Amino acid sequence: MKVLAVFHDNNLNSGATKSFLSNILYMNNQEDINIVAVVPKKDGNLIDLLKKHNIKTFQLRYGGNVYGVKKKWLNNFVSYCRCLIKTIISYLNSRKFELILHNLSIDAVYSNTSTIYFGAWIARRMKINHYWHFREFNLEDQNSCHIFPRMFNELMNMTNCIFTISKTLDNYYKNKYGLLNTIVLYNDISKDYINLDKEKHRKINILVTGTLCENKGQLFVIKTLQNKDNIMLYIAGKVNDYGHILESYIENNSIRNIKMCGLVTDMKELRKKIDVSIVAASSEAFGRTIIEDMLSSILVIGCDRGAVPELISNYKTGLLYKYMSSEDLIRKIEWVIENKAENENIRKNAFEYALKFTEERTAKEVYNYIVNGKNCNC
């Protein structure tokens, strides 16, 4: 059986790409399935890794079919126009790509993220099965909207199965679109993230990891912890326009206890010095870094929003604080500092819990659905 894997970017540092890639590599190791991959023409090194695994890979011009929504209407208009042009180019290239795929005798398409229609278009026209992995809310967590909502709805409904990465995300799509073809599959995490080595340090080292954007809550954490003498805050994420806003805030307020790490290629090394991590996102669809941190024996403090409470049992596998409450977040951090024995038990419980995500359960489920041509009729 030949399956086309449609990646949404060429960035190995993307959590969505890491999660999708783990499924692809698992399936590629099975004897009864052959993976063919397509990757957007963007900067990155994903394509090199795929080729190292002997996966036939194409690189084409296609991209997301969502546009950014901001406060200024002019920015929205420009974003919409760019997305429209990108969508037209993506559609035309999907038609050209079909000729190649017919010669390769592709049996099914497996697409990553709800933001691209490329794989769904191909599957519909070739009349083959389509499986789609949804990892985002879009408007709620990325300030983006689908350029053609009706088309998106049609493509979702013709898909054999939509894999969602949390109960929260699954309920969102069921309630908003009335979907009956979804199933919850939490992301797999590689055993490579297991890391119990720790470096000695005097202060409480706290980590916030992820894309630098307003909805991820970095500024809230910075304002909450700024100039706390016993705390060192590390912000890990590629510095973008919002990252420059954070840097300016830190500089203008002469904040001494915050380090902007930029894009960290070796998170394992950084996590050796971390005691606590904070997840402050307003709408976390899964929270991959939560499990990664747990596997590094880091105590995770997460807000009570999105899918975070699905992964953190309060005072059992981590701590939950009230969303956007600096007072509650400070109370939770103080509790961690004052109750070393209890928080050590939480770390151990969290580590055992996180190990379950390293068993490739989702990859096996995805493989089972695709190779057997199964539908999700929940």
Model pLDDT for residues 97-140, shown as the tens digit of each residue: 999 999 999 999 999 999 999 999 999 999 999 999 999 997 66
In words, the CATH class of domain 191-357 is alpha beta
Whether the per-residue pLDDT at 34 is higher than 90: the answer is yes
- How many Cα atoms within 13 Å fall on the side-chain side of residue 81? 6
pLDDT band at 43 (very low <50, low <70, confident <90, very high): confident
| CA–CA separation, 16 and 139 (whole Å) | 17
- How many Cα atoms within 13 Å fall on the side-chain side of residue 46? 31
Please tell me the least confidently modeled range out of 71-80, 222-231, 291-300: 71-80
Model pLDDT for residues 306-346, shown as the tens digit of each residue: 999 999 999 999 999 999 999 999 999 999 999 999 999 99
Q: Which two tokens stand for residue 69?
A: 């929504």
What single-letter DSSP state applies at residue 10? Answer: S
pLDDT band at 378 (very low <50, low <70, confident <90, very high): low
At residue 71, the pLDDT reads 67
At residue 74, the pLDDT reads 84
Asked if 2-188+360-371 and 191-357 have one fold, the answer is yes
Q: Which of 6-15, 191-200, 217-226 has the highest mean pLDDT?
A: 217-226
Position 38, amino acid: V
Model pLDDT for residues 178-197, shown as the tens digit of each residue: 999 999 999 999 999 999 99
Model pLDDT for residues 146-178, shown as the tens digit of each residue: 999 999 999 999 999 999 999 999 999 999 999
Whether the per-residue pLDDT at 377 is higher than 80: the answer is no
CATH no., domain 2-188+360-371: 3.40.50.2000
Residue in 290, 294, 330, 328 with CA at minimum distance from that of residue 307:
290
Tokens 């909805």 found at: 215
% of the chain at pLDDT higher than 70? 98
- Output the CA–CA distances (angstroms, integers) from residue 190 to 115, 116, 173, 289, 320, in the order listed: 25, 25, 27, 12, 25
- Output the CA–CA distances (angstroms, integers) from residue 335 to 6, 202, 320, 341, 353, in the order listed: 45, 18, 12, 11, 22
* Cβ atoms < 10 Å from Cβ of 338: 9
| CA–CA separation, 220 and 79 (whole Å) | 27
Beta bridge partners of 66: 146
Q: Which two tokens stand for residue 42?
A: 């963007």
| CA–CA separation, 12 and 110 (whole Å) | 18
Q: Give me the torsion for CA of 15, 41, 242, 18, rounded to 10°.
A: 10
Q: pTM for the whole thing?
A: 0.93
Name, in order, each residue with C-beta under 8 angstroms of 219's C-beta and a sequence gap of 6 or more.
Answer: 245, 246, 249
Q: Where are the alpha helices (DSSP H) in 195-307?
A: 218-225, 241-252, 267-271, 288-294
At residue 68, the pLDDT reads 85
How is the chain split into domains, by residue range? 2-188+360-371, 191-357
Residue in 25, 88, 36, 83 with CA at minimum distance from that of residue 59:
36
| CA–CA separation, 240 and 238 (whole Å) | 6
Name, in order, each residue with C-beta under 8 angstroms of 289's C-beta and a sequence gap of 6 or more.
Answer: 15, 209, 210, 277, 279
Average pLDDT of the chain to the nearest whole number: 95
What is the Cα 73 distance to its own chain's centre? 28
Q: Is the four-CA dihedral 191, 136, 314, 339 of positive or negative sign?
A: positive
Whether the per-residue pLDDT at 359 is higher than 80: the answer is yes
Q: What are the two backbone dihedrals, phi and then psi, of residue 104, each rounded to the nearest 5 degrees?
A: -85, -5
At residue 244, the pLDDT reads 97
| CA–CA separation, 120 and 162 (whole Å) | 11
At residue 69, the pLDDT reads 83
Q: Do residues 121 and 18 lie in contact, with contact meaning Cβ atoms separated by under 8 Å?
A: no
